[in-house]
């Protein structure tokens, strides 16, 4: 993707969805952290089903700890890898209480020190909860960045750094939401819906003859 194409690409995505949001359901920073931790190798729909059972009963580090690992696992057993996720979330809650007064820390270093929290999860929390211009590269963003030529890379970190360099500052805070949603619903893995794509004209993999659809 040419540099000159990036601004209209994102302007079009913005016009279609001016205030993009995560599809994970949460009402606090801790609920967001817990939901993102549980979402590894799981769908947001599946995580939401589990957290709708869990959060009314336990939605703070102390309440999660009170459930115990077995009790927590019972509430999230519909999610893949639920046993290891229960172990990680219990350990994370203990650290939050012992080292952070029960609050979710705002630094990347502190977030990634939590069990089960990697760079992508930390980026989601920093962006969604704290409004920082981070890029949480999941499978959808990785695919879209490579397929469109927006920020090709061999691994998620390479794509993340490429996106941070190429996405204009005015779009950066919301860019990862637009890219995730685009990859989830339009630029899907097996049969991308190019005929329904509003940004096909700027895509390196666009079908021949695709025309630009400018916002407004």
Which residues participate in catalysis according to the annotation? 120, 138
* Distance between CA atoms of residues 112 and 119, nearest Å: 6
Q: For residue 29, which of 92, 109, 113 has the smallest C-alpha distance? A: 92
Give the total residue count for the chain: 216
Cα–Cα separations (whole angstroms), residue 28 to 31, 38, 103, 174 = 5, 15, 10, 19
178, 15 Cβ separation under 8 angstroms = no
89, 37 Cβ separation under 8 angstroms = yes
Paired tokens of 144: 């879209």
The set of residues, in sequence order, having a beta carbon less than 8 Å from that of 170 and lying 6+ positions away, is none
The set of residues, in sequence order, having a beta carbon less than 8 Å from that of 41 and lying 6+ positions away, is 80, 81
* Distance between CA atoms of residues 196 and 177, nearest Å: 19
């Amino acid at each position: 993707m040419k540099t000159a194409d990036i601004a209209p690409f994102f302007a079009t995505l913005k016009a279609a969805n001016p205030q993009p949001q995560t599809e994970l359901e949460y009402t606090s920073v801790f609920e967001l952290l817990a939901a993102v931790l549980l979402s590894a190798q799981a769908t947001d729909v599946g995580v939401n089903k589990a957290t709708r059972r869990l959060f009314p009963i336990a939605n703070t580090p102390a309440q999660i700890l009170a459930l115990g690992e077995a009790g927590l696992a019972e509430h999230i057993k519909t999610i893949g890898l639920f046993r290891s996720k229960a172990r990680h979330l219990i350990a994370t809650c203990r650290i939050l209480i012992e080292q952070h007064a029960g609050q979710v820390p705002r630094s990347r270093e502190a977030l990634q020190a939590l069990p089960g929290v990697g760079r992508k999860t930390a980026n989601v929390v920093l962006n969604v909860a704290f409004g920082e211009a981070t890029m949480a590269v999941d499978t959808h963003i990785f695919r879209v960045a490579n397929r469109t030529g927006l920020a090709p890379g061999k691994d998620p970190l390479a794509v993340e750094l490429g996106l941070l360099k190429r996405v204009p500052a005015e779009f950066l805070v919301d860019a990862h939401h637009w890219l995730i949603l685009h990859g989830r619903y339009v630029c899907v893995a097996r049969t991308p819906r190019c005929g329904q794509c509003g940004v096909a004209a700027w895509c390196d993999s666009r079908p021949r003859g695709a025309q630009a659809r400018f916002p407004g």
